[in-house]
Amino acid sequence: MPRVSVSWIITVLAVELATLSAAHAHSCHEVKTAFQVRQIGQLKWVPETPATDVDLSICKHAGPSCCTRRMEESYRTAVLRDTTQSIRSYSFELKYLISAHITAFQDTFQSLIIFSQNHLTSLFETTYSSLMSSISPHIVCLFTDLSRFLQGTGNVSVEAAVHCFFDSLFPLVHTRIVNPGMALSISEDSSDANQLGDCLRMTRQDVNPFGPHPKAMADSLASALRAGRVLSLALGVGLEVMNVTDSEELSRECSRALVRMHYCSHCRGLTLIRACSGYCLNVMRGCLASLSELHNPWRQYVTVLRDLTHIVAGEHNLELALLGIRGQVEEAILYAQLHGPRITATVDKVCGHSSNASSTTVRTFPPTSVTPPPANSSQDVPGADKIGMLAHLHREFMGYISRYKSFFSILPETLCEGEMGVDELTCWSGDDVVKSYTARVVGNGVRAQRQNPEVRVRGADPVLMDVKNKLELFNMEIQEIMPGVGHRESWDETGSGESSGECDDEDGCEGSGKSVASPTLTEADVSKKAAKVPFHDSPITQNTSPSDASFSMASFIVIILALGLHWLFI
């Protein structure tokens, strides 16, 4: 009797465990858990057990399903939210890089402007103090115009700003330095003073009292600032491109494909299985087809940035031009002093007044002050510690931005990296659990999507195509304005827009070409997965988790023990 009791108890226990295991396999408990953890929607929308008469529009399946039509809509909302957030998280790195460099470039330039302005002011405060109060507003005006020019705000000309400054300087130098008694003699008659001042300003370029220095200063500043202005404009264009692409919405066809990839497996109880790598690439390349069209113009744009930064910072042209302003102005005034008699005689003929002043004692001074260094030298320049600031700034920036040349072509691979179960033996194909994805994997770009088996791409997105056209036009205009810029790299890639869609790799595609990737935006290693375990055809089959494996093994062991004990006691 005891032998029968023990055997019966063990047998009953084994049957109970097997019953619990079967009940667990045909419930929607794990689906409900995933629905809650991923914050997809209200739990009351998830059924307790799978049903066979569910009307689904995306995750259609002949067998039992844990999904409802309302869950599908929640999945669609959630997958759009998560995918958009993922895209923005990657694009944010590039967007922030450009935005931060714009700020750093402007701050560095402004520090140079302030230093140069203060340095020029100190020249008049220490050497030509009689001119200080009158010339001060013109100094401010000069540097304000230079700053506005580089920032691209307002219709400002560097040459005009420089010549305007020297036009205003001439009356002061002529009446207070070259002819020091003239200012006192004409001060009693304000109308004479105004007439003379106007005449001197209007005839300054004809009289040429400052020799070659105004033109030399205008040319050096215009050349250096023009490249800086174009670079500043180019950075703004890059930021605008990122702002537009950052706010672009995914299509309805894309959202349906994303639901199939991420959540249709849940409807069958498979909450842990991952998408096949090739399948994920097809979905993401279809969703981002129009975005991939930006690859070629963006790659050339980055090359344009590289060339512009080299022009601006390579020979320290911008820094030397700004830091050399004081020296050029000082040399211009010394030139006027040395050529005082000739200048006075010319002014007498053109404007009059000089003969009435005590101009017979013209003060001239030998050029004992420091002559500014050549434009290609950085030694002995006031503020020499500031030389190299822009070079360091731009070198660091280009070290990062160059890694983003292929940003728009490798984005699908980047997004798929987190979805691929590289070490798993099976994967989700959108319809079933398979050993490997066997459908054709297409390349990047709109044209390649004609062969995409997962996403229907109706055509190029007009907003992104407008961005592409504007970026191409900008690159072309820069090359026209500054020949040679952007042409220093051979374009051996056909680019995303020229992709034929041919791809023979079953789980990956080289359609995007090789690229230089950033530490966080690396090209996905889309390797083939050797799948060796067949798929079991149960309608609700969860891919084996550690807890499920231990539970099933425990049931099996109990049954074996029960049978063994039963035969032992018999």
CA–CA distances in Å: residue 301 to residues 83, 295, 306, 519, 532 = 27, 10, 9, 21, 46
CA–CA distances in Å: residue 286 to residues 446, 447, 449 = 8, 10, 6
CA distance 237 to 257: 33
Check residue 328 and give its pLDDT: 96
For a pLDDT cut of 90, what percent of the chain falls above it?
Answer: 50
CA distance 403 to 517: 5
Check residue 312 and give its pLDDT: 86
For a pLDDT cut of 70, what percent of the chain falls above it?
Answer: 72
Residue tagged 């997958």 (tokens): 79
Q: What pTM does this model have? A: 0.72
Would you mind telling me the total number of residues written for the chain in this entry? Answer: 570
Check residue 126 and give its pLDDT: 95
Residue 511's nearest CA partner among 526, 500, 522 is 500
pLDDT band at 120 (very low <50, low <70, confident <90, very high): very high
**Residue 286 predicted with pLDDT over 90:** yes
Three-class SS of residue 341?
Answer: helix
Tokens of 442: 């297409």
User: What is the rounded average pLDDT for all residues in the chain?
Assistant: 77
Residue 335's nearest CA partner among 367, 360, 373 is 367
**190-227 pLDDT per residue, tens:** 666 678 888 999 989 999 999 999 999 999 999 999 98
Check residue 239 and give its pLDDT: 94
Q: Are 24 and 50 in contact (CB under 8 A)?
A: no
**Residue 180 predicted with pLDDT over 90:** no
Of the candidate ranges 85-89, 359-363, 400-404, the one whose mean pLDDT is the lowest? 359-363
CA–CA distances in Å: residue 3 to residues 8, 10, 378, 566 = 9, 11, 102, 8
Check residue 187 and give its pLDDT: 54
pLDDT higher at 542 or 30: 30
State the SS3 of 44-74. HHCCCCCECCCCCCCCCCCCCECCCHHHHHH
**Domain locations in the chain as residue ranges:** 2-54+537-569
**Residue 26 predicted with pLDDT over 80:** no
Check residue 465 and give its pLDDT: 95
Cβ-based burial of 215 (10 A; exposed 0-12, middle 13-18, buried ≥19): middle
Residue 105's nearest CA partner among 397, 402, 399, 305 is 397
Q: What is the DSSP string of 196-244?
A: HHHHHHHHHHHH-TTTTHHHHHHHHHHHHHHHHHHHHHHHHHHHHHHHH
Please give the distance of CA 474 from its chain centroid, rounded to a whole number. 16
**362-421 pLDDT per residue, tens:** 444 444 343 444 444 444 555 667 788 888 888 889 989 999 999 999 999 999 986 654
Check residue 21 and give its pLDDT: 37
Check residue 551 and give its pLDDT: 35
Phi, psi of 275 (to 5 degrees): -70, 145
Q: Are 519 and 415 in contact (CB under 8 A)?
A: no
Check residue 568 and give its pLDDT: 40
Check residue 36 and give its pLDDT: 87
Phi, psi of 507 (to 5 degrees): -115, 5
Residue 280's nearest CA partner among 501, 511, 91, 526 is 526
**Residue 449 predicted with pLDDT over 70:** yes
- From start to end of 34-159, where are the E strands? none
pLDDT band at 569 (very low <50, low <70, confident <90, very high): very low
**287-338 pLDDT per residue, tens:** 999 999 999 999 999 999 999 988 888 778 889 999 999 999 999 999 999 9
Residue tagged 């692409």 (tokens): 245
CA–CA distances in Å: residue 35 to residues 28, 185, 214, 426, 517 = 10, 92, 73, 23, 35
Check residue 392 and give its pLDDT: 86
Report the 10 Å Cβ neighbour count for 279. 30
Check residue 190 and give its pLDDT: 60
**Residue 480 predicted with pLDDT over 80:** yes
Strands 427-428 and 433-434: antiparallel
**Residue 135 predicted with pLDDT over 60:** yes
**511-562 pLDDT per residue, tens:** 333 332 222 222 232 222 222 222 233 333 333 333 333 333 444 343 344 4
Residue 323's nearest CA partner among 438, 453, 473, 217 is 217
pLDDT band at 490 (very low <50, low <70, confident <90, very high): very low
Q: What is the DSSP string of 361-412?
A: S-------SPPPPPTT--SS-TTGGGTTHHHHHHHHHHHHHGGGTTHHHHHH
As a whole number, mean pLDDT of residues 25-31 equals 80
Check residue 418 and give its pLDDT: 66
Tokens of 193: 């003073």
**343-356 pLDDT per residue, tens:** 999 998 888 755 44
